[in-house]
Amino acid sequence: MEKNASILLTGGTGSFGSHFVPMTLEKYDPARLIIYSRDEMKQWEMAKKFGDDPRVRFFIGDVRDRDRLYRALDGVDYVVHAAATKIVPTAEYNPFECVKTNINGAMNLIDACIDKGVKKCVALSTDKASSPINLYGATKLASDKLFVSGNSYAGYDGCRFAVVRYGNVMGSRGSVIPFFKSMADSAKLPITDARMTRFMITLPQGVELVWHAFEDMLGGEIYVKKIPSMNILDIAEACAPGRDHEVVGIRPGEKLHEQMIGEEDAPHTYEYDEHFKILPAIHNWSKDAGRIKNGRKVAADFAYTSDTNAEWMDIDTLRGWIEANAETIGHF
């Protein structure tokens, strides 16, 4: 992204937007940064923080509403797509609603970006899109495929689309860290399964991965940040030291371990110093030197999962992060 551009962020009042907006205003000084979301109360709260900044605009709308997207994208150069139905049990019990937002909404945005002359669009994905076992993951896999193939749909000179994928965002609303912190005074902490592992990423790291995608992409790439893993018992100990545990079982649609790259994607995956890149299987784009750049091909049986990860975060490191970010945990 160049400076003085017009940027639109779907789902902009969520956890990602709380960091993307101030960081992007500082780094890129956009002419406009449009927050597109359907939650008027969250927009009202966010406007209190940025209301005096003439660069920040607020636009009520839903990605399910194709006509509203077309209106919002007038004169927009870059789009970040963060809007989604994300909570796994919610999607399991309300599958049609999840499909409408995550799949139909993606199709609406792709069409609107192409027709309104947007230069580039980066969509946020999730570890759950890799070998999905729940509906949320299945819809995000479909969404990823749509954004990848959108480059072919757009034609040679049309909008370019890419995807970024990462796992558990540390301290975000509804995630495990604020949940354990809220239970710190309880006699026992509820643990789904003592074997469970999770990837750990901060929101600033997620924002920086999106920036990198905009700078690096030719279209169709899926970027996966290299991040550490933790065992659920270690996360609990960092959040609430010394508490006993009670195993309550895995929720519907939940995985024991997170996976961001499956073995089936290995033939099209390349490794870089700080990330991996899954290239499209279509049109031989996975063999395109412009997309590969200085990447190193991964092994044929490679998979990037939280239990076999080479990098691990220890209890003291997470505890230090919690202490440094105590005021914002669970509020973004």
Distance of alpha carbon 325 from alpha carbon 332, whole angstroms: 11
CA dist 249 to 113, 193, 252, 276, Å? Answer: 43, 6, 9, 32
Distance of alpha carbon 191 from alpha carbon 185, whole angstroms: 15
The phi, psi pair for 171, rounded to 5°, reads 80, 0
Distance of alpha carbon 136 from alpha carbon 65, whole angstroms: 20
CB proximity list for 138: less than 8 A, separation 6 or greater: 132
Distance of alpha carbon 206 from alpha carbon 176, whole angstroms: 18
Longest dimension (CA), the chain: 61
CB atoms within 10 A of CB 223: 22
Contact 1, 33 (CB under 8 A): no
For this structure, is 86 an active site residue? Answer: no
- Catalytic residue of the set 86, 116, 120, 128: 128
CB proximity list for 327: less than 8 A, separation 6 or greater: none
Residues annotated catalytic, as ranges: 128
